[in-house]
Every structure is written in C-alpha cells, then in structure tokens.
Chains A and B, each alone.
Chain A
C-alpha cells in the first residue's frame, strides 16, 4: 500500500472532468423536475446527443458545432416526450422509459458507419495567469472549455430559478400546476421549454463523452450515465448548488476507489459503488417530506 502515490491535486482535477457529463445531464433534468415533470429518458437523450454531436463534429471538423448539434438532437428527442406527456397526457414514467429504449435504438442506427473514426480534437484551455496559480491552477483552470460551460450553465440555472420572474413561474408550475394555471401562467408552454432545455443539456452531456472523454462513437457508450444523472438530481434535492456537489461525489466515488486500488488498497468495489445511492436515499429521508416539487410526475389537464 502506498497512499502517498495519490496526488490530491490531480485527483481533484480529474474529478472535474469526470463529473462533467453527468453534471450537464443532471442540470437539465433538474430544471425539468422543478417544472414538475419527471423525464426518465435521460439516458436515451444523452446517447442521442452523443451520436448527433459526433456526426456533426466529424462532418464539419468542429467540435463546437458538434456540441450545438448534440444540444439540438437531445432537444428534438425530448420534444417527443413533451408532446406525448403535455399534449397527449400520457404517463410520464412510461413515456420516459420508452424514450430511453427509443433513443438507444435510434442512436445505434444513426451511428452505423461512424465506428473507428476519431472525433476532431478539442484541446484544453490553459487559462493564462489563472492556470499558473500553484495548486489551484492545475485543479481548476486547465481543462477543456466544456467543463466551464457546464459550471456556467449550473450557475445560470441557479440565477434563473432564484432571481428571475421566469424562474418563479417555472417553480410555481412545478409546485402546483393547478394554482399556477389559475394565476394565468402557461403551464404547458413552461413545461415544454423546460423539457427541451433538459433534452439539450442531456445531449451536451452525451456529446462530452463522444467528443472529449472517449472520444469516439460506440453503441451504448453512455453506459448508464443518464441514470446516475437522475440520482444526482434527487441527491441535490433539486438545488443547483448541491448538484455540483452531488456530481463530484458520484464521480468522486469512482475516482477514489480506482485511486485506492492503484495504490494497492483492497477495496470492496461493489459495495463502495452502491454507497452514493444509499447516500441519496439518506438525503431524501433527512430532508423529509414536501421538498420534491409538488406536482412532480403528475399529469396536468386544465379543467374548463
């Protein structure tokens, strides 16, 4: 055993990168759930974003355009969910599960012919001055741009939800859609926008895997990341600030156990890997009743 081999600076730095795809997907789902909609199709939207982004990045040679394409692809798929649940009033749990099934199939079909191709490279930013700060520099300021964009999105969502009128409406719709409707807010329009934002973010998260993390296209490459994103939203108790913490914790458990293994510590990997989920349940219990958005998962139909 040689714990000194673990470099805490590098560990934290790689944590920021490891957490980015789930953070992106989770912040989108957070907005969706705050609007009172439970979309279990995150995995399907992520992988669709992964292939859309990959195809466009390869075709144009620009990873930036790839990310935009991924966001659009994810949003388009989520539109399907939105129309079904908001206009045709289908059950959200069943529709979300169907969306995952659909997305996995769709992405695999779209990805035929894109095997063994490399994505155009997406270099790290070495932010001048800030990146040279000892200790903090390498941890925080020497990553690829999407890491910062992810954090920026989280900050913007926090600002939007807590400091703007639109955010207030969105939360009102999520807490009690009947009351929000009675006040004259557009429940369906708000929710459709939230769902599409969720799809776009999930798409970005998927594309981060196919364009930066791997960076290649393979079927099923999200390997369950979308489901982890769902867990993180709950862990964060629907608060953007805690979401970052949650994403780092979930990503951190993996990074930490791998670090311990490499340092020669015998770790019960399987038991360790269930710990974030148990922690999430504990969080749910501690914060107790009533904190989940009041209308989460319920069908809205304006009685007239």
Chain B
C-alpha cells in the first residue's frame, strides 16, 4: 500500500524536478497518441515544443510568445495572491471582459479626438472595471458569506452576455455595415496599444505583465502584505491572531486580481485583438487559473508556466498547418500536460512511502 506523508516544507528538489518530469511524461504519452494518429511522434513533439523557439521562422514566433503569454501571466499573477490566501476567484474571465469593455468604451467615447490622455484613461477604466467586477463576489462574501468561487463563476456568464449586448448594440461600429463588433481601436492612434518596438511583440500589456511579476515577487518576499497572504492561506487562525483582517484580505485579493484581469482585457482589446466582438474572450481567464497552478503560485513560476502554455498554442498552430494534426489533438495534449503537472505535484508536497498496513 502506498502512503503519502505531508512534508513539513515543500520539497525544493521536487518543486524544480516535477515540472520537468511532467513535460517529459506528456511528450512520451503525447508521442504515443500522435503515433496512433499516424504521425511521426518525434516530428510532432519537435514542432510543438521546439519549432516556435528554434526554427527558421523563430524570429516571428518568439514575439508571438509574448503576445499570447502576456495576458495569461498578468491574470495569473493577480490570481496567485488570492489562491495563496485561500480566496478562490475563478471568474477572471468575466473580469477580463469587463476590463476590455470599460477600456474600449472610454476609448470609443473620445473617437475621433486625438489626445495623449486617452490611453492612460483607458488603462484606468480597464483596471477599475475589472476590479469592480472582482469586488462583487468579494463584497458578497464579506457581507453575506456567499461562496466566492460560485459567484465569480456566475459573473462570467453575466459578463459574456453583456459583451454580446455591447458588441451588437452600444459599441457597434457605425461604419461596420451592420456587422456586430466595435471600431478597431488599434487603428485609432490615441487609443491603440501598439508594439513599442516593431516586430518585437512588446506592447504595453507585456510591460504590465513583467512589472506585475516583479512587483508580486517583491511583495511576497519582502513585504508585510505578502507575509499576511501566506499566513492567511496556511494558518487562518494564526493569521487572525497576527492581526490579519480577513475581510480586508478578501477585498484586496479580489480587487487586485480583478484589476489585473481587467488590465489584461483592456490591453488585449486595444492592441492585439483591436475590437470588441461577440466572442472577444477566448478563455484567457480560465487558462490563467491553470497557469497560476502550473507556476506554483510563484511569480517567476507563473512567468515560465505562461510561456510554456503559450508555446503549446503557437506550436500547436504550426503542427496543425505543417503536419495536418487536428486541433483536437492539441487540446488533448494541453489537458494531458496539466494532468501530469498536477499529478507529479504530489511529490513536491508529500513524501511517498510504502506501507504494509492497509490504509483506512
């Protein structure tokens, strides 16, 4: 009988080795799957994991990693605070939508006026929109004790309906031949979140994601708030004695994660996506939850996890186009990668022991 013993401290060795092991396992099982689909497994694995970084077109794919990864990292960093403190905001998708809607609405309100003030205003609107949407489950939890997991999830659907209503109604492009969707913000200079250096993939959202990672790192490692967050998650009762106000903690974590998700949405809608459309959201908010866990809720880990996740999307696209792999195989592979990462994580937090005694 196999028995798990909780480690007093997560294993340092395994916290580095586990992700590597998971990726290797994914490659092996994924390879078998691809072979079963009649593809050359080595070629497929190489295309997905290495071509985006080291092929002749890598100069193009590498910036794409930033574009695809930035929103994931930005949202995941925000979520990681709450997750550490035991506050489960799983509605980042909704906050992402609301940030995009608020940011875009502010930008479109000024159209076609040109001013350097518009973009900063949009950033503020995006952050506030996301933060307010995130604060709703927070406030309800503080005031009525409702479960924030469920309320934040419900608010995703509400935000999605609102997005559709906006794309079909108030934010619809008056010159769009009646099709749903707003004006293209990336073609409106004062509101556009363009690449800072052409061809680099660096836009303000990437900058914001990097700042968020550094900021979170410092906060968690050096600041009182970081200490309180960790304490609240690990020992809620001790945290209370240490003077942590649980209500304040909930509101800060929900507001912060909402604001960062809102920012991600705002940078996306004004830059890479350009428009508010009915299905503007493509699941970044949910994928970011996975990224946060893959990164072990650690800012640097999240950065790496975001990059790996982006890699599978980009490599997956290349594999589809060059090797004729169905899109379904990619999402299967992503699911597998997550399963293995979650599974081997047990080694980080628990010690595996063989015992003769039959466990209860």
Q: Name A's B-contacting residues (CB within 8 A).
A: 38, 40, 80, 84, 88-91, 93-95, 97-99, 101-109, 112, 181, 184, 186, 219, 227, 230-231, 234, 268, 270-271, 273-274, 277-278, 280-281, 284-285, 288-290, 292, 296-297, 301-304
- Interface pair A97/B145, CB less than 8 Å apart: no
- Interface pair A302/B360, CB less than 8 Å apart: yes
Which of B88, B90, B162, B360 lies in contact with A274, CB distance below 8 A? B162
Looking at the assembled complex, report how far the CB atom of B91 sits from the nearest CB atom of chain A, in whole angstroms: 11
- Interface pair A285/B338, CB less than 8 Å apart: no
- For the complex, is B242 an interface residue (Cβ under 8 Å from A)? no
- Interface pair B154/A105, CB less than 8 Å apart: no
A38–B152 alpha-carbon span in the complex (Å): 14
- For the complex, is B188 an interface residue (Cβ under 8 Å from A)? no
A sample of 13 cross-chain residue pairs with beta-carbon separation below 8 angstroms, ordered by A number, consists of A89-B349, A90-B343, A93-B90, A98-B342, A102-B331, A105-B329, A107-B328, A270-B162, A277-B158, A278-B154, A280-B154, A289-B145, A297-B149
Within 8 A of A (CB), among B313-347: 326-336, 338-339, 342-343, 345-346
A107–B280 alpha-carbon span in the complex (Å): 25
- For the complex, is B194 an interface residue (Cβ under 8 Å from A)? no
Given known contacts A84-B342, A89-B4, A104-B331, A284 and B147 CB-to-CB distance under 8 angstroms: yes
A268–B162 alpha-carbon span in the complex (Å): 11
Given known contacts A84-B343, A292-B147, A108 and B326 CB-to-CB distance under 8 angstroms: yes
Kindly supply a per-residue 1/0 record for chain B positions 83-99, scoring 1 wherever the CB is within 8 Å of any chain A CB and 0 otherwise.
00000101000000000
- Interface pair B157/A93, CB less than 8 Å apart: no
- Interface pair B161/A270, CB less than 8 Å apart: yes
Which of A89, A101, A303 lies in contact with B335, CB distance below 8 A? A101
- Interface pair A278/B158, CB less than 8 Å apart: yes
What A residues does B144 contact at CB under 8 A? Answer: 284-285, 288-289
Which of A84, A103, A109, A284 lies in contact with B329, CB distance below 8 A? A109
- Interface pair A281/B289, CB less than 8 Å apart: no
- Interface pair B339/A102, CB less than 8 Å apart: yes
Given known contacts A91-B293, A97-B290, A101-B335, A290 and B145 CB-to-CB distance under 8 angstroms: yes
Looking at the assembled complex, report how far the CB atom of A295 sits from the nearest CB atom of chain B, in whole angstroms: 12
- Count contacts on B: residues with CB < 8 A to the other chain: 50
- For the complex, is B23 an interface residue (Cβ under 8 Å from A)? no
- Interface pair B154/A219, CB less than 8 Å apart: no
A268–B165 alpha-carbon span in the complex (Å): 9
Which of A38, A278, A280 lies in contact with B149, CB distance below 8 A? A38
Looking at the assembled complex, report how far the CB atom of B332 sits from the nearest CB atom of chain A, in whole angstroms: 3
- For the complex, is B218 an interface residue (Cβ under 8 Å from A)? no
- Interface pair B328/A104, CB less than 8 Å apart: yes
Given known contacts A94-B293, A270-B165, A102 and B147 CB-to-CB distance under 8 angstroms: no
What A residues does B360 contact at CB under 8 A? Answer: 181, 184, 186, 302
- Interface pair B145/A101, CB less than 8 Å apart: no
What B residues does A84 contact at CB under 8 A? Answer: 339, 342-343
Looking at the assembled complex, report how far the CB atom of A82 sits from the nearest CB atom of chain B, in whole angstroms: 12
- Interface pair A284/B146, CB less than 8 Å apart: yes
The 8 residue pairs across chains A and B that have the minimum distance between CB atoms: A289-B145, A102-B335, A108-B328, A105-B332, A105-B331, A270-B165, A90-B342, A98-B338
What A residues does B162 contact at CB under 8 A? Answer: 270, 274
- For the complex, is B286 an interface residue (Cβ under 8 Å from A)? yes
Which of B145, B164, B342, B345 lies in contact with A270, CB distance below 8 A? B164
- Interface pair A97/B289, CB less than 8 Å apart: yes
What A residues does B88 contact at CB under 8 A? Answer: 93, 297
* Residue of B144, B149, B339, B343 with most chain A CB atoms under a 10 A cut-off: B339
- For the complex, is B304 an interface residue (Cβ under 8 Å from A)? no
- For the complex, is B35 an interface residue (Cβ under 8 Å from A)? no
A270–B158 alpha-carbon span in the complex (Å): 9
Looking at the assembled complex, report how far the CB atom of A190 sits from the nearest CB atom of chain B, in whole angstroms: 12
Within 8 A of A (CB), among B1-38: 3-4, 6, 37
